[in-house]
Amino acid sequence: MCWVNARDVKLAGDPASLEVVYPDKVDVPFTGDPRWPAPQNVEAARQGDEVTISWDFFDLPLGERESENSPRYILELWLCRDGQVTFNPLPVYEATKVMVLDQAGCAEPSHGRVFLAEVHGYVGSVQIKWPPLPSP
């Protein structure tokens, strides 16, 4: 997963036509830097189709982030929408709580993980204990 400032990129054509290469074709650059903790106290709760994911905030020093405008965390989520599980990377800038839509009706279970983002790559991954769908 790579994040770039849109003003530094020039695209010709339709960005929607770009091939999705992660998570099937490349690996996330993990740093394994022992100075930074993997996300702590990761929890998820469901209310109907809404799943709220939360974790403890860690204030990574600015010099260890790309810039003050870079994401602090990255969530990789495989969510059920309209009967298909889709990959949804989600940058998180300041919050430590996000809400996502996860519907019933997929053959495989939804799941996800969260990473701390730092200048050299990512610290984590912490699997999110995905809350089950309500019983019919």
The residue extents of the domains of the chain are 31-127
Share of the chain above pLDDT 70, in %: 90
Query: Nearest 10 degrees: CA dihedral of 28, 29, 31, 36?
Result: -50
In the predicted structure, residue 13 carries a pLDDT above the cut 60: yes
> What is the model's pLDDT at position 30?
73
Q: Which two tokens stand for residue 12?
A: 């010709």
Rounded to two decimals, the pTM is 0.82
- 24 pLDDT tier (thresholds 50, 70, 90): low
Closest CA to 1 of 112, 98, 115, 78: 115
pLDDT digits (tens, 9 = 90+) for 84-95: 999 999 999 988
What is the DSSP code (8-state) at residue 24?
T
CA–CA distance, 10 with 6 (Å, rounded to integer): 8
Residue pair 130/111 in contact by the 8 Å Cβ criterion: yes
Out of 2.40.110.10, 3.40.1080.10, 1.10.150.240, 2.60.40.10, the CATH code matching 31-127 is 2.60.40.10
